[in-house]
């Protein structure tokens, strides 16, 4: 069974105070801030409860003054102890929101298209907010969309970062309709839809080793609190350990900044210099697991500029690719099922709006693609 929605607790508390005559006609009801502090919820939640009390004619909300018990106490006999969720459904805007860092042909565009198409199929409008991988922009977008009552629920592709977005955490703790895509928040019971990143990294690492490359490196942006990267790194390390490699054989370069949506152009030169130094210190490495397609492309550029690039010597693999038909480099790569991720995210969000139970994590299969067209699919 679900625990009651947090706004229901606030609603029921105020109604009980009135019914037991602890609050009488004309009395001021505790404010949004006071109720939020009393119940340990966000002001979004307490505001929602007071709005529903006002819509039911139980309190009168006065701008700049607060909420007051109405004088028509007789009607309370017919008021439900908890808000009617059929009423809740009737008050929906018919609008969902997608908050994401960006969308490109490499990754994100198919995800966005699938979400938009599924919303249209089910009769929902879709609001889009791009964060450019800025946590501040992400927080402002969530606050404006939810706090302003613009949308019924959110699909969020979280930014990279070392800290959770406070607005995102409040949504989870308030049990607000929310689905995360591409990654999840460890320790928080938020609904999420992700690729099997651990299994995918294991598949790439095993592929490289099976091709005879026994010196192998992992390349990524900073991994802290970005579960997709953390799991890919874990998969890479697991395979090496299972095959008897010592810990010092685990070579990881995790300092890329230029491939993030928030990157500035000068960071490309910084990344290339740092990567060049890493390659010099790991000169025997010939196999690479790149966490992103753009990192794989950057690696080839650095090797070419150093005069050491030889496609017969190096084996570079990566996650995602625009594909050769769109001018992509012919790497062995993991194709994530963006369309299924997008459609499932919408379905899970609407299920929450209907009061249905949903899983905390949905893990999707992946496909390993070898140029030009050979594919191996993993997962259910």
Going along the chain from its start, the domains and CATH numbers come out as 6-90 (1.10.10.10), 95-195+338-365 (3.40.50.2300), 198-335 (3.40.50.2300)
Q: Is 192 within 8 Å of 352 (Cβ atoms)?
A: no
Confidence (pTM): 0.76
Q: What pLDDT does 86 receive?
A: 45
pLDDT for 87? 43
What is the chain's percent helix, strand, coil content, to nearest 5? 45, 20, 40
Q: How many H-runs (helices) and E-runs (strands) does the chain carry?
A: 12, 16
What does the alpha-carbon distance between residue 352 and residue 329 come to, in Å, rounded to a whole number? 41
Is residue 144 within 8 A of residue 343, CB to CB? The reply is no
| Residue 316 structure tokens | 């570079």
Judge whether 316 and 331 are in contact, CB under 8 Å.
Answer: yes
**Distance from C-alpha of 378 to C-alpha of 319, rounded to nearest angstrom:** 14
Q: 379 and 199 in contact (C-beta within 8 Å)? A: yes
Nearest CA among 189, 187, 156 for reference residue 173: 189
Give per-residue pLDDT as tens, 47-85: 778 888 887 788 888 888 889 988 765 455 555 555 554
Residues in the chain with pLDDT < 50?
Answer: 1-4, 74, 85-91, 380
């Amino acid at each position: 069974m679900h625990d009651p929605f947090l706004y229901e607790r606030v609603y029921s508390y105020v109604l009980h105070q009135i019914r037991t005559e602890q609050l009488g006609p004309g009395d001021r009801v505790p404010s949004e801030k006071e109720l939020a502090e009393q119940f340990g919820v966000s002001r979004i939640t307490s505001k929602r409860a007071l709005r529903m009390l006002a819509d039911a004619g139980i309190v009168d909300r006065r701008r700049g003054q607060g909420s007051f018990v109405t004088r028509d106490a007789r009607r309370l006999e017919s008021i439900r102890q908890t808000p009617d969720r059929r009423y809740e459904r009737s008050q929906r805007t018919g609008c969902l929101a997608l908050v994401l860092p960006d969308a490109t042909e490499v990754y994100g565009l198919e995800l966005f298209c699938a979400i938009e198409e599924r919303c249209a199929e089910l009769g929902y409008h879709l609001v889009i907010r791009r964060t450019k991988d800025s946590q501040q922009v992400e927080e402002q977008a969530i606050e404006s969309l939810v706090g302003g009552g613009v949308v019924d629920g959110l699909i969020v592709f979280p930014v990279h970062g070392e800290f959770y977005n406070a607005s995102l955490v409040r949504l989870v703790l308030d049990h607000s309709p929310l689905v995360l895509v591409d990654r999840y928040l460890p320790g928080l019971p938020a609904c999420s839809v992700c690729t099997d990143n651990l299994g995918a990294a294991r598949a790439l690492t095993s592929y490289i080793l099976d091709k005879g490359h026994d010196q192998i490196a992992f390349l990524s942006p900073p991994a802290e609190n970005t579960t997709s990267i953390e799991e890919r790194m874990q998969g890479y390390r697991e395979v090496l350990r299972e095959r008897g490699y010592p810990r010092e054989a685990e070579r990881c370069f995790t300092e890329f900044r230029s491939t993030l949506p928030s990157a500035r152009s000068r960071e490309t030169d910084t990344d290339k210099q740092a990567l060049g130094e890493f390659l010099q210190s790991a000169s025997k490495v010939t196999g690479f697991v790149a966490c992103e397609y753009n990192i794989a492309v950057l690696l080839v550029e650095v090797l070419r500029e150093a005069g050491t690039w030889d496609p017969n010597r190096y084996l570079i693999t990566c996650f995602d690719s625009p594909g050769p038909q769109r001018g992509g480099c012919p790497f062995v790569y993991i194709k994530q099922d963006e369309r299924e991720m997008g459609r499932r995210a919408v379905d899970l969000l609407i299920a929450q709006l209907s009061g249905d139970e949903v899983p905390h994590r949905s893990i999707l299969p992946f496909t390993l693609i070898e140029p030009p067209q050979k594919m191996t699919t993993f997962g259910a």
